[in-house]
A and B are shown apart, each in its own frame.
Chain A
């Protein structure tokens, strides 16, 4: 049996109309004999059959227009199937999305400020000093939008603030409702002895200039990131009914904004960065989060979120997970607590780490192992 298809009769032909069937079901057709007349944009053409046999069935009636390649009739073929009489598993030529030609590497301009003509124009109009503006365009070029942002940070026109606030609250509301609705949360907590961590930190910070001193939150973030290597499913994304592991560990850091509002942008590649680098990154994120100039990637890429509410006063946090993440790690107040060592009660700084986890992805056992791992990491801060 062979399908007789609407043939391609010309370089541009995409469809054809069956005009007249020259053979009817039951009739024999020889190889090379005309079987049908087809009308194209340009003309009516007689089409031959490439197989010999009997017309079994007509699939497309006269007068109908169909795309090329559509089966028009079925021919019962005697003997062997002719070689390649059908479009075989036609492997199409590989199509490659050509990357846009990379703009030639721009040479370092040294003292020369990179700003687009539109940015320069606007800066002049608004009286903004370009050297104070952070550029977010290609290669750090200052764009018109950057100048606009700078003015917003400066002046915060009254009408704007509530607007942005309202929108943000609405977004948070939607996300949190969805989280509560869809994610079966469970919560675990663990008290972590922070004496080693705080002692080590004090020593480190003594050696550093003020601007570079580490805050303990960075230790918490790094410990969480490293612990994820032991329980990687907590670093996943819930997509269409299953968890997809993320290869990268991008810890989202919850940052509260002045005037209300909350964002949790990512420190990209958290597990592979040094503490100093994470500190710089953290400071930068906080500054830009409050200035409203976070980058898209930072907002879309967190694989897990850490929220440190110690400063605000909570002892422990049982928060809602930000979908599509599957976990939220919270840290509460660092307080002096009575601990028992060698049968003796001693005061030591401690913090309560809590895990909110998606029960579809992980159970209490794995969750507990995770918290245990964070604890272990924090006992050897020099290895963070």
Chain B
């Protein structure tokens, strides 16, 4: 077991992949000479050279499309889009090509492309740098969407993604990069099909993903002081969703709160609520509750941003409101 940060865990996975598979290469803005906008790829250019670690010009659409073309032609590119905020420039390539070409060609194409993006708000970066748009991607048939929320998953999920024959999107919440934890260095690829119960409980289920996991865990601890045992489910995979895990927990607790940093309307939490309605109706003792971001472009001022994002207090209050 080793202690490392989330960013180091991603880097560790990158190293392993680059070392063991010559078709893997990393492409994105500032991944080489700058060492990565979040320092994830720090040192990799020196060790693997400019053919494997490619600094791309500021052309999201084309370097994502190039990743698609390379994946069609025998390579396993890892495209790093600096943040989900910039991915909007590549949406056409992502939706109309990456997610679509296999089906539209009658099954002729396989695109083993991994796209990594930083996501989320909470660092006073303003409205154009703070989006949580995972749900936009989770909406699209043809791709997998993962949200590693722990240090172990940061490494294990990337390794697993690189074994998939299909496109995989990995969302790394920016606030998680410095988080430290113990991981098993030798662990290898993680399961990417299932959610995980990070904390067991029988009074209420809290479902969440990505950067909201630490807040959910803290909320659970607070609730525990009042004798409320919350079960925290980390979704881990957003497409496909592990509905079974949520329903299993619901069968025990009969109440659920979904914590989702996206805007409430048409969010991932709305999808989860719908599934609970469809498949867990009889297990509910109260309607599913949701804690989401306020429907505003993210403000810069600290107190406003805090008010806009899901917080521990809000999660606790939501739990109490349905108990």
Chain A residues within CB distance 8 Å of chain B: 103-104, 106-107, 109, 112, 114, 141
Alpha-carbon distance A224/B278, docked complex (angstroms) = 44
List 4 additional contacts besides A107-B251, A112-B283; criterion CB under 8 Å: A104-B279, A109-B283, A112-B282, A141-B282
- Min distance, Cβ A252 to any Cβ of chain B, angstroms: 34
Q: Are B278 and A104 in contact (CB under 8 A)?
A: yes
B-chain residues with CB within 8 Å of residue A107 when the two chains form the complex: 251
Alpha-carbon distance A103/B280, docked complex (angstroms) = 10
Chain B interface bracket (under 10, 10 to 19, 20 to 34, 35 or more): under 10
Q: 13 interchain pairs (CB within 8 A)? A: A103-B278, A103-B279, A104-B278, A104-B279, A106-B279, A106-B282, A107-B251, A109-B282, A109-B283, A112-B282, A112-B283, A114-B282, A141-B282
- Min distance, Cβ A146 to any Cβ of chain B, angstroms: 15
A-chain residues with CB within 8 Å of residue B278 when the two chains form the complex: 103-104
A-chain residues with CB within 8 Å of residue B251 when the two chains form the complex: 107
Alpha-carbon distance A106/B283, docked complex (angstroms) = 10
Least CB separation from A101: chain B residue: B278
Least CB separation from A105: chain B residue: B279
B-chain residues with CB within 8 Å of residue A106 when the two chains form the complex: 279, 282
Alpha-carbon distance A143/B282, docked complex (angstroms) = 12
B-chain residues with CB within 8 Å of residue A141 when the two chains form the complex: 282
Alpha-carbon distance A106/B279, docked complex (angstroms) = 7
Alpha-carbon distance A114/B283, docked complex (angstroms) = 9
Alpha-carbon distance A114/B282, docked complex (angstroms) = 6
Alpha-carbon distance A227/B279, docked complex (angstroms) = 46
Least CB separation from A107: chain B residue: B251
CB under 8 Å from chain A, chain B span 237-286: 251, 278-279, 282-283
- Min distance, Cβ B235 to any Cβ of chain A, angstroms: 18
Mask for B278-297, Cβ within 8 A of A = 1, else 0? 11001100000000000000
Least CB separation from B254: chain A residue: A112
- Min distance, Cβ A327 to any Cβ of chain B, angstroms: 44
Least CB separation from A106: chain B residue: B282
- Min distance, Cβ B239 to any Cβ of chain A, angstroms: 18
- Min distance, Cβ A7 to any Cβ of chain B, angstroms: 27
A-chain residues with CB within 8 Å of residue B282 when the two chains form the complex: 106, 109, 112, 114, 141
- Min distance, Cβ A351 to any Cβ of chain B, angstroms: 49
- Min distance, Cβ B202 to any Cβ of chain A, angstroms: 14
B-chain residues with CB within 8 Å of residue A103 when the two chains form the complex: 278-279
Alpha-carbon distance A103/B277, docked complex (angstroms) = 10
Alpha-carbon distance A103/B251, docked complex (angstroms) = 16
Smallest CB-CB A-B distances: 9 pairs: A104-B279, A114-B282, A109-B282, A103-B278, A106-B282, A103-B279, A107-B251, A141-B282, A112-B282
B-chain residues with CB within 8 Å of residue A109 when the two chains form the complex: 282-283
Alpha-carbon distance A333/B9, docked complex (angstroms) = 88
Alpha-carbon distance A104/B251, docked complex (angstroms) = 14
Alpha-carbon distance A301/B98, docked complex (angstroms) = 53
- Min distance, Cβ A144 to any Cβ of chain B, angstroms: 15
- Min distance, Cβ B37 to any Cβ of chain A, angstroms: 42
Alpha-carbon distance A222/B282, docked complex (angstroms) = 39
A-chain residues with CB within 8 Å of residue B279 when the two chains form the complex: 103-104, 106
Alpha-carbon distance A104/B281, docked complex (angstroms) = 11
Alpha-carbon distance A20/B251, docked complex (angstroms) = 71
- Min distance, Cβ B42 to any Cβ of chain A, angstroms: 46
- Min distance, Cβ B137 to any Cβ of chain A, angstroms: 23
Alpha-carbon distance A103/B279, docked complex (angstroms) = 7
B-chain residues with CB within 8 Å of residue A104 when the two chains form the complex: 278-279
- Min distance, Cβ A212 to any Cβ of chain B, angstroms: 32
Alpha-carbon distance A107/B249, docked complex (angstroms) = 13
- Min distance, Cβ B118 to any Cβ of chain A, angstroms: 35
- Min distance, Cβ B256 to any Cβ of chain A, angstroms: 16
- Min distance, Cβ A136 to any Cβ of chain B, angstroms: 15
- Min distance, Cβ B18 to any Cβ of chain A, angstroms: 42
A103, A106, A141 — which one has the most chain B CB atoms within 10 A of its CB?
Answer: A106
Alpha-carbon distance A141/B251, docked complex (angstroms) = 17
Alpha-carbon distance A104/B283, docked complex (angstroms) = 13
Alpha-carbon distance A106/B276, docked complex (angstroms) = 12
- Min distance, Cβ B102 to any Cβ of chain A, angstroms: 22
Least CB separation from B244: chain A residue: A104
Least CB separation from B282: chain A residue: A114
